[in-house]
Amino acid sequence: MTINIRKATAEDLPDIYNLVKSLAIYEKAEAEVTATIEDYQNDFAAGIFQAHVAETDGKVIGMVLYYMNYSTWKGRMLYLEDFVVYEEYRRFGVGQLLWNELAEEAKRQGARLLKWQVLDWNEPAIKFYKKNKATIEKEWYNGKLFF
Domain map of the chain by residue range? 4-117
pLDDT higher than threshold 90 for residue 47: yes
pLDDT of 1 higher than 90? no
Please tell me the pTM assigned to this model. 0.94
Give yes or no for residue 15 having a pLDDT over 90: yes
Distance CA 63, CA 30 (A): 18
Yes or no: domain 4-117 corresponds to CATH 3.40.630.30: yes
Mean pLDDT for 53-65 is 97
Residue 33: CA atoms inside 13 Å, Cβ hemisphere, count? 19
59-71 and 50-56 strand pairing = antiparallel
Which residue spans within 1-147 are E strands per DSSP? 4-7, 50-56, 59-71, 75-85, 113-115
Which pLDDT band holds residue 39 (cuts at 50, 70, 90)?
A: very high
Q: What is the pLDDT of residue 18?
A: 98
Query: Which entry of 17, 86, 89, 129 is annotated as an active-site residue?
Result: 129
User: Model confidence over 77-128: pLDDT tens digits?
Assistant: 999 999 999 999 999 999 999 999 999 999 999 999 999 999 999 999 999 9
Check if 129 is active-site: yes
Q: Identify the pLDDT of residue 22.
A: 97
Mean pLDDT of 1-26: 97
DSSP H stretches of helix in 57-108:
94-108
Q: Which amino acid is at 104?
A: E
Per-residue model confidence (pLDDT) at position 79: 98
**pLDDT tier for residue 23 given thresholds of 50, 70 and 90:** very high
Average confidence (pLDDT) over 27-34: 95
